[in-house]
Amino acid sequence: MDAEVLAELKAYLDEEIDRRSYELEVLKKIRELVERELKEASFKSAAEVMEKKAEERRVIPLLSKDGKTTLAELHVEKDRIRIVPSADLKVYHGSPPIASFLIGKVLASMVEEDNRLVDEGKISEDERMKYEVNVSGDVIREIVILNYRDQHRLNRVREAARWSFQKAYEQATQK
């Protein structure tokens, strides 16, 4: 190739490099703008994340009437409550305050209400409240309640559990 053709090729390549360098710079600036907008749209402060986690999972102690003894703890999550008796308190599955009132009356009535709502098509089968009593021997390890659905029901469960565990505590300390 002669020098003139090589000079033309070099000039062409220089122009293309300049043009494409400019395009590359524009693309980089657009990407920076998109990244900045994306960060602003999805960024949550550590405090917001911790507050959300605290809302999603919290522990509510159930205290005795005198406020000195923790009878149980309610571990509350979005769609689940775990009632865990205090390690110092042996609560028996057949204990009347637990079996007759908390399980037999309060939880059973909520399940009946949900069964009716499922039959009427107002809630789905997956939204129906369920509960399970986990025992070790005859001693309750935890009561797990799924799909409690709202604050009103949480309050009912908390108050019924507090009363039931208070009565079980009183029975245990009288013996």
DSSP assignment string, 59-85: EEEEE-TTSSSEEEEEEE-SSEEEEEE
Tell me: do 58 and 21 sit in the same domain: no
The count of domains in the chain is 2
Residue 16: band (very low, low, confident or very high) from pLDDT cuts 50, 70, 90: confident
Tell me: do 54 and 30 sit in the same domain: no
Tell me: do 92 and 148 sit in the same domain: yes
DSSP type of residue 5: H
Of 135, 143, 130, 166, nearest in space to 83 by CA: 143
Predicted confidence (pLDDT) per residue in 40-95, tens digit: 777 665 566 566 555 568 999 999 998 889 999 999 998 999 999 998 888 998 99
Tell me: do 87 and 120 sit in the same domain: yes
Which 3 state secondary structure label does DSSP give 132? Answer: strand
Token couple for 14? 């220089």
Residue 130, domain extent? 50-174
At residue 45, the pLDDT reads 59
- Determine if residue 137 is left, alpha or beta; phi over 0 gives left, psi from -120 to 50 gives alpha, anything else beta: left
Residue in the structure block whose two tokens are 């070790």: 136
The number of helices, as runs of H, and strands, as runs of E, in the chain is 5, 5
Spatial distance between the Cα atoms of 94 and 114, rounded to a whole number of angstroms: 25
Tell me: do 114 and 154 sit in the same domain: yes
Tell me: do 32 and 58 sit in the same domain: no
Tell me: do 72 and 15 sit in the same domain: no
Tell me: do 29 and 114 sit in the same domain: no
Tell me: do 61 and 118 sit in the same domain: yes
Predicted confidence (pLDDT) per residue in 111-128, tens digit: 999 999 999 999 999 999
Predicted confidence (pLDDT) per residue in 80-107, tens digit: 999 999 988 889 989 989 999 999 999 9
